[in-house]
Amino acid sequence: MKYVFLCFFCLFVFVGQAGAQNAMQIDKMNAFGARGFDLFQKGEYEKAIVLFKQILKYDDIHPEALIWIGNCNAELSDFNGAITYYQKAINSLESTSSYEDKGYMLDKPDLLKNAYYQIAMNYSYLGDHASAFSGFQSALKQDPDNKYTLPSNAAIYTSFGVVKAEQGDYDGAILLWDKALAIDPNDEIVLSNKAEALRQKEFHSTQE
């Protein structure tokens, strides 16, 4: 059986307020971030990591840079490495002084939602379903009103459902996909996943 995940990587803006970091440093960080993102889009993940790490020389707990290093590691199938950097980003964001004093443009829940979603996906690739479930749930808690859309709550429910289905929990998967469909009733991926789960559920019931 084949279910489809939805994966999202956010485009972050590497900025800070002048009162927190001087303008020259901010310009350099922006330049490293832009070049790193360009390399990421070209599939040159190792080179992108080098540039994102340059940002950490100015701010060693910069959440956006940490998330992007995690994204690069994920693309390189280094899922443990990706998890390490996503967790560092989460730790940074959950430390009030390290985030709010530096004036990042993106909202804290936006970044946390993405970091938790990405860490959940990488745990799922490693087969650590309990940690994946925890990550998905934490991502959803950041944004109960679905204000932030990369990823949207529908995407989180979709991927969460895939992990449930791959464990054979078809009822749990269908429940999550119904929540995704409540947000976007015409999502073809979710409709296809749900139809497959219903077929598998019926097949297994006939084998009992």
The SS3 call for residue 23 is helix
Residue 131's contacts (CB-CB under 8 Å, 6 or more residues apart) are 119, 120, 123
More confident residue, 207 or 153: 153
Could you give the C-alpha distances from 48 to 7, 74, 111, in angstroms and in order?
A: 19, 13, 20
107-119 per-position pLDDT tens digit: 788 889 999 999 9
Residue 126's contacts (CB-CB under 8 Å, 6 or more residues apart) are 79, 80, 83
Domains, the chain, with CATH or none: 12-136 (1.25.40.10), 152-208 (1.25.40.10)
Rounded CA gap, 16 and 3, in Å? Answer: 40
Q: What is the pTM of this model?
A: 0.86
Residue with the two structure tokens 């991927």: 159
Q: How far is CA 88 from the centre of its chain?
A: 13
Residue 93's contacts (CB-CB under 8 Å, 6 or more residues apart) are 63, 99, 108, 111, 112, 115
Q: Write out the two tokens for 53.
A: 């790490």
Q: For residues 188 and 29, is the Cβ–Cβ distance under 8 A?
A: no
More confident residue, 95 or 99: 95
Q: For residues 12 and 28, is the Cβ–Cβ distance under 8 A?
A: no
Residue 126: DSSP 8-state: T
Q: What is the CA radius of gyration of the chain?
A: 19
The CA-based dihedral angle spanning residues 97, 98, 99, 100, taken in that order and rounded to the nearest 10 degrees: 30
Average pLDDT over residues 144-173: 92
20-57 per-position pLDDT tens digit: 457 788 888 889 999 999 999 999 999 999 999 999 99
Structure confidence at residue 103 as a pLDDT band (50, 70, 90): low
Q: Is the pLDDT score of 155 beyond 60?
A: yes
Q: Is the pLDDT score of 207 beyond 50?
A: yes
CB atoms within 10 A of CB 17: 12
Structure confidence at residue 147 as a pLDDT band (50, 70, 90): confident
Rounded CA gap, 50 and 37, in Å? Answer: 11
